Amino acid sequence: MIYAYAICEPATAAALSRRRGLGGAALRALQREGIAAVYSRHRSLQPRPTAKLVMAHERVVEAVMARGAVLPLRFGTQLGDEDRLAAVLAARRRELLHALDRVRGHVELGLRVIREPDRRTDGGAGERSGRDYLLARVGDHRSAELAARELHAPLAALADASVVRDHAAPPDILVAAYLVDVSRVPDFRRCADELAARQERLRVLVTGPWPPYSFAAVERR
Amino acid sequence: MRIEGDREDVARGLAQLVLTLVELLRQLMERQAIRRVEAGGLGDDEIERLGQALIALEQRMEELKEDFGLTDEELNFNLGSFENFFGETDPKQ
């Protein structure tokens, strides 16, 4: 049983030999025609997403990111053996090389737009009908969503790619990820700060830099 | 006296935690109702009933907050800010 952390270039993987993966397992690299996968061997492994294991996975991915372009694999990616891993690398070689090119020199930044709790000025529900109340909430939600979209657009323009998540969970009104050139990260943060300062009822949280999880596109389909 | 004081703090802390979760659930239900309205296909009766249910939820929440002497700020303190749980993930904030 092997557990895979990330796809990268062979030179990047070679620099990782002294680091440890899940459960302290030695990190290994498998190379095929200009592409490498970073993985560890396990006799048996049922990786539950505990904070400790997720952090161990993340640390490996970040170590790869510090050394070169990385396509992070989702936590819990397991394969039967090295042959299977090699087969995946071979079968998807062109796609992986293209994805590595795309993320090279880039990081992922996250955006969370959070709605401040409503300050009801109408004195609460009072004697309004259920319909009025619900439609008022729909209106509030729409205007908050519109404002959040206006925050997103200029940030997306600073990024090479962006993804807006479907159905952000409350209190978030919008959750998005951006693939940003490392040199533009300060601009991105400044832009987000300026946009946030103009908003009264929305709180803006920029997170990262993260490995480009949202732009790796190497999950099994 | 000190023990009594501590006990009160614990009770208040627990109430704050529970009500924060209840408030999060209330917001989830409200969001769900908004989506259903936006998706269309709800009859007038259903919209009225959903709205009434949300009004009742909000009123009950207000009562609970008053009972425990908690403000909106105290309930929303941790909502939406994961850095409170994972302080190291985002040192910039």
Residue A137 to residue B25: CA distance in whole angstroms: 16
Contacts of B48 in chain A (CB under 8 A): 129-131
Q: Is the dihedral of CA B28, B33, B34, B39 positive or negative?
A: positive
pLDDT band at B87 (very low <50, low <70, confident <90, very high): very low
Residue ranges of domains in chain B: 2-77
Contact A54, A75 (CB under 8 A): yes
Residue A110 to residue A177: CA distance in whole angstroms: 5
Inter-chain touch B34–A137, beta carbons under 8 Å: yes
Nearest alpha-carbon partner for A73 in A87, A90, A85: A85
B25 touches chain A (CB under 8 A): no
Q: Give the 3-state secondary structure of residue B54.
A: helix
Inter-chain touch A130–B51, beta carbons under 8 Å: yes
pLDDT digits (tens, 9 = 90+) for A94-116: 999 999 999 999 999 999 998 87
Nearest alpha-carbon partner for A28 in A76, A71, A86, A68: A86
Q: Is the dihedral of CA A191, A195, A198, A204 positive or negative?
A: negative
For an interface test with B, which of A108, A134, A135, A213 has the most B Cβ atoms less than 10 Å from its Cβ?
Answer: A134
Q: Please state the pTM of the whole predicted model.
A: 0.80
pLDDT digits (tens, 9 = 90+) for B16-39: 888 888 888 898 999 999 999 999
Inter-chain touch A205–B93, beta carbons under 8 Å: yes
Reported ipTM exceeds the 0.85 cut: no
Q: State the smallest CA–CA distance between residue B68 and chain A in angstroms.
A: 19
Residues near B54 by beta carbon (within 8 Å), at least 6 away in sequence: A130, A133, A134, A137, B29, B30, B33
Residue B17 to residue B78: CA distance in whole angstroms: 9
